[in-house]
Amino acid sequence: ARAAAGAMGNRGSSLETAVGNAEKRLGRVSVEGRYHRSPNKLSDDYDVEKKALGTGYSGAVLLAHSKQSKQRFAVKAFKLHGVPKEKKKELVSECEIFLSMDHPHVARLVDVYESDDQLALVMECMEGGELFDRVTARKVFSEKDAAATSFQMLLAVKYIHGWGIVHRDLKLENFLY
């Protein structure tokens, strides 16, 4: 199971600060080719479908295909026009967090697209469903399976806590396969 992008808390005051902080953590090369500002657009590199993979704290998550590789991705888009200052800070925080993450049990950020009116996060598409649905469907887990799943969840939480990040929305629905 991997932790999905949810309501996460951290600090930050602008998108530039978020990129700068991520670059300090990971180095310029790892962020440079993944953070795209206008005139670069999400539609230059991805075909985004209207189909929602799900909805969460921050809105709908849409399915997208890379124009180059045809690989499937999940896209979270945030409108920036008219967004209150506090909400922008939350978006900056989430952007900074995703740019900093690199762990096998945390959904990976692939690209970020920023324009004057929108911020779009392109993430690894986790298509195996939610842990909540698996628990509901199976009803009973062996001790070994429950321990293995719990261990993966705890590894993800430990990793993000190690960065000083609090997820704020830990629930079975936010652990994806």
Give me the residue spans of the domains in the chain: 2-176
CA 11 to chain CA centroid, nearest Å: 17
Residue 58, CB half-sphere, CA atoms under 13 Å: how many?
30
User: Most confidently modeled of 3-12, 123-132, 156-165?
Assistant: 123-132
Q: Which residues are annotated as a binding site for ATP?
A: 76
Please tell me the CATH code under which domain 2-176 is placed: 1.10.510.10
Nearest CA to 57 among 72, 78, 73, 82? 78
Amino acid at 23: E
* Catalytic positions: 169
What mean pLDDT is reported for the chain?
A: 84
Distance CA 167, CA 164 (A): 10
Distance CA 68, CA 52 (A): 22
- How many other C-beta atoms are found inside a 10 Å radius of the C-beta of residue 85? 7
For 6: left if phi > 0, alpha if psi spans -120 to 50, otherwise beta; the answer is beta
Mean pLDDT of the 13-22 span: 65
Nearest CA to 109 among 124, 127, 90? 124
Distance CA 109, CA 99 (A): 6
pLDDT in tens, 44-67: 999 999 989 988 766 789 999 999
Distance CA 146, CA 80 (A): 41
User: Most confidently modeled of 25-29, 105-109, 114-118?
Assistant: 105-109
pTM comes to: 0.77
- Strand segments (E) across the chain: 2-3, 35-37, 46-56, 59-66, 72-79, 109-114, 118-124, 175-176
Give the whole-number percent of the chain exceeding pLDDT 70: 81
